[in-house]
Structure formats: structure tokens, C-alpha cells
Structure 1
């Protein structure tokens, strides 16, 4: 049932009426499984969900990214294929994903993409993309619940099957210090809430009005992103910071370097992976940003 029409035709012959019957039966089964997910809390390991994903995506000839947008109770808001790629490659654009998530007021996402090769193991690129999306999602209060790789016979859970275990995830905790003593960091504090609200409003403004080259403020947006992560005691790599910006990657990297040169931010080598560098606010700047956001929202 999960085989592609081409594979069925090759086995049964182009004139076989069995091919048509099997395809019709599969369409009915897919619709039935999709209906089973409506009105219930979605569990990535639910047998019905896995069957639905295998039957609807496992035999596709090219890679596609499907997203299940969920509300706070993990009920399904929307089930959409948001991007398509080639036989062996799929480019993931975070702005497209999170713009749609905010439009739907989604609290969580289950990412799903297929491997036409039949190898259900996630690639290094799959894992790194998942990590970056988790970082962005935390800043926007949108949880990446799971990332599922689908083939015609298997589902592999990148997040939930400990695929990320043992890998340096850019969310390790550290302590922010401010002049005169420890910074007051509290997951429920007003400064953090106001900073998060500022990020959401800026992203919404970009979606509604567009033209980020006219209305964007990438340096300030980077600082807000860093402040949110430091309040949450989470590290942020330079590459992840640049991914969340509203400017091209090359421009974002140059801007990140200028912030470091100005003493506004600091580079921190990753003690586990020498190839990666984290970036954090200078403690004095962090202290001033806390005062700014404690004074009120933007």
C-alpha cells in the first residue's frame, strides 16, 4: 500500500486494474487516518500517525517537508506540505516555517520529511537543521515537538529517539553576570516577557508589511535574541543567531562580527566542539537591556 504508483505499475503491469484499485484503497486509507487525528492530542509515536505519514509520504519520488501545526493542547490546527526538494536534498527555510506557525497561532510543530532513498536514518544536515529550528522556536514560544524522517517502511524520530543525544546542542546552560553581582534571571520575569513580545511583534510586522530592508533593524533584533537566550540560560551559536536575522547569511555574519568588534557581544569557544563558537552579550550590555525591558515593552 505504501509503494509508489510507478513501483506498482512495474510489478503488476501498466494495464492492470489492480493498480487502480490499490491506489484508490490507499487514498481512502490515508483520508481515514487523517480523520482519526482530528480532535485528539497528537502523539508523534501514535501508530495511526506513523501509518498516515508512511502511506502519504513514504513513496514520494522527491523530498518534501510536511508540518503538523498544533495548539497548546496538541490538537491539530493544520497539516501542510510547506516545501519540496529534489531526490536527495531539501532546503529548509526557517522564516517560512515560523511565519506560518505565527499566522496559525501554533504552540508546537511536528516536522516530517521523507527520504526517497529508503534510508530512514537522519543525515547530519537533518540533525543540524532540527537544532537550529529548536533554537528559533524557543525564542518565539513555538516548540519543535519532533522531527520525523519517513520512508516507505519506517519512521525515525530525530528529537524523540535520542538522535541528538551526545551531540553538542546549542542550548547548554550558562550564567549571566551583571556589574555588581549576579544578574536577576527568572524564566517568568517581566524583562524576558517584554523581550519575547518585542521579537514576536517585529516578526509579525515583517509578515504583514514586508520590506525588511526598509523597516528591519537586524542589529537590535540580534541583541534581543541574545538577551532572550541568556535570560533562559541557553547558549546561542553565531550561525544560529544569523539564521534568525532578517538579512542574508553573509550580511548577518558581518554584522555579528561588528557587534563583537564594538564590544557589545563576546565570542565564546565551544569547549566540546572546537569548530563552533557561541556568542553572548557583554555583561554590561546585558544589564542595560534588562533595565530597558523591565521599563516596559516596545
Structure 2
């Protein structure tokens, strides 16, 4: 009980810096420390915050880590893992709101920011499809498949069937490379071209296939591959 006032005073100073200076007023470990303190109020959370950032290679990797991986870190519990995932969910909703404000092709940087925050640091490969209407507004963002450490299945027929069900006028494919290198593989290009051919028969355009990685992103349209 004797150390409680010290924790309280330190957290009050962090809170004041955050209120007065905004998010840049706190270092990454201080943001995580304060977040954890809301879930673990009676403990010094600075060591745990630093351990988490080291384990997951920074704040982006930490926020995108799955709950099971978080729970394996000594000192973490279900409540503290939920606090981390809640912060990530809130950030994604903020970024996604920017994506839905304007036609996707006229709001490309907001799309990339959203996808990077959600996908770049995942340890398994995921395939997403952004469904657009005739004005290129986002109508649905769906996870189509989740693969092993280095592959995910993308079934052209399933993507097209879902686009027909939703009345999509256009699609943007997205997947991540857990290796960090976003360079498209031969298989990536082939499946994209197959999807373009299938969509063309039904009047469904495929605007792009974007690959996310920790080292950046690659646009097949931008690279002239489709």
C-alpha cells in the first residue's frame, strides 16, 4: 500500500502531459504503461510496457498482436490483453472512418494508412477484399481467408460470388506478407489476373491488388503488373 501514492502521482503526471501535449507528449512505452495502468491499477506497469514493446518489436506490432500472443507474455492477463486490443480496435475505427468519407480512389492515402495499421504486422497471411459501389465508395471490407505463416488461399470463384451477392461494382484485393517484403510473387500476379478476367465477364472491375508488409506496401496497378 505504501507505494500506491507514487504510482498515482506518476500516472497523474502522464495524464497531464497527455492532456496538454497530445499523443506526441508521451513516448511509446509511456502510452502503453498508462493504458495498462487502467487495466492493472495497483501495479507498476512500466516494466511490463517495455517488455511488451520489446517482445512485439514496437507499438505497431504490439497493437496488432493477437490476444493469445499477448497473454503469453509474463504479467499479462485477459483484462490487460483486452485493453491492448481495445486500443487497436479504436484506432482502426478512426482510420476506417476516414476511408468511408470519400471515394476510395480519391482517398488512397487514407486507405493505405488503414490497411497498414490492420495488416502490416500480422504473423500469418490474410486476404481481404474491399467491395466498392459504382461511385467507388466502400460498401464492405471483408476478410476472405487466413493462411499459414507464408500462404493464404484466394479462391476466385468465392470472391466473385461474394461481389455478386453484394452488388459490388469494383474490388480491391489486399493481403499481407509476414516476411515484411511486400514485393508481389508470381502467384500473386497470376491469381489477380484470373480475378480480373472473371470479374470482367460480369462487369466487376478489379482496381488493384495491394500487398502490405512491415517494409512498406506494393500496388500491382502502380507497378504495371495488372
Report the Cα offset of residue 99 of structure 1: 0.4
Structure 1 residue aligned with 2:60:
2
SS in 1 for 2:209: strand
Is 1:122 aligned with 2:196?
A: no
SS in 2 for 1:110: strand
Where does 1:135-150 land on structure 2 (aligned, <5 Å)? 135-150=197-212
* Distance of 2:198 and 2:107 partners within structure 1: 24
SS in 1 for 2:189: helix
Where does 1:1-298 land on structure 2 (aligned, <5 Å)? 1-3=59-61, 4-5=64-65, 14-15=74-75, 23-43=85-105, 46-164=108-226
Report the Cα offset of residue 15 of structure 1: 2.6
- How many residues align? The count is 162
Check 1:121–1:45 CA distance in 2 against 1; reply closer, same or farther (3 A cut).
farther
* Distance of 2:106 and 2:188 partners within structure 1: 17
Larger-gyration structure (1/2): 1
* Distance of 1:80 and 1:38 partners within structure 2: 14
> Is the CA contact (8 Å cut-off) linking 1:55 and 1:152 kept in structure 2?
no
Normalising by structure 2, report the TM-score: 0.64
> Is the CA contact (8 Å cut-off) linking 1:2 and 1:54 kept in structure 2?
no
Report the Cα offset of residue 45 of structure 1: 6.7
Shift >3 Å, 4+ stretches: 16-24
Check 1:75–1:134 CA distance in 2 against 1; reply closer, same or farther (3 A cut).
same
* Distance of 2:106 and 2:211 partners within structure 1: 12
1:10-61 superposed Cα distances (whole Å, 9 cap, x missing partner): 9xx6437997765443321111111122242002872221111111111222
SS in 2 for 1:2: helix
Instruction: Tell me whether 52-61 or 69-78 shows the greater mean CA deviation.
Output: 52-61
The CA RMSD over aligned residues, in Å, is: 2.7
Structure 2 residue aligned with 1:238:
none
Q: Structure 1: which 5+ runs fail to align?
A: 165-298
* Distance of 1:2 and 1:54 partners within structure 2: 9
> Is the CA contact (8 Å cut-off) linking 1:44 and 1:110 kept in structure 2?
no
1:69-123 superposed Cα distances (whole Å, 9 cap, x missing partner): 0001001111100112111112211110000000111010000011111111011
Normalising by structure 1, report the TM-score: 0.49
Check 1:98–1:72 CA distance in 2 against 1; reply closer, same or farther (3 A cut).
same
Instruction: Tell me whether 103-112 or 29-38 shows the greater mean CA deviation.
Output: 29-38
SS in 1 for 2:104: coil
Report the Cα offset of residue 163 of structure 1: 3.3
